[in-house]
Structure 1
Amino acid sequence: MPTDEMIRRTRSALPTNEKQARLTVVLEERRKQEFDAACRELGSNPSEVLRHLIVDYVRGSGRRAPGHAPPGANPPTPDSADDGG
């Protein structure tokens, strides 16, 4: 999960004069609740965390992270993404 410093870097990476866009993500309700809770525990919100992850991924560091499919690969199925919890 991102630290306060990572969130600050992400905010500074967002130009204030650019148009904003929305991104819709479909996932299981349980995953969303877990994600929301994890964000709250870190004093952040889901939008900030996702912005950070997207910026980090586009800059290249997320492309080699374990568990992340490379661009063009088949996304994980819900069963393969399940952590058993």
Structure 2
Amino acid sequence: MRLYMQIPAADGSAPRYYHLHLQEDLLEGWNLVREWGHQGAGGRVIKDHYPDHDQAMEALMRLRDEQIRRGYRIVFIQGQEQP
């Protein structure tokens, strides 16, 4: 699953973005990759490992809800079913 959120530009600054996506790793686990920053600039990236898809998806949904409460709007969603 891939989720891209954005806060519109304010006070002449670039919009802020928050990007979440799940990746299956080679060791039978899942990584939740979080990237955020200002549009057009280098962002910050953190990868969190989870032993299964369900736990990774729960973490993604928690982070999504947290960012929506902070004012981010969902711009793009690409779904992926569990293999």
Greater relative CO (CA pairs within 8 A, separation 6+): 2
Could you say which structure has the higher strand fraction? 2
- TM > 0.5: no
- Length-normalised TM-score, structure 1: 0.28
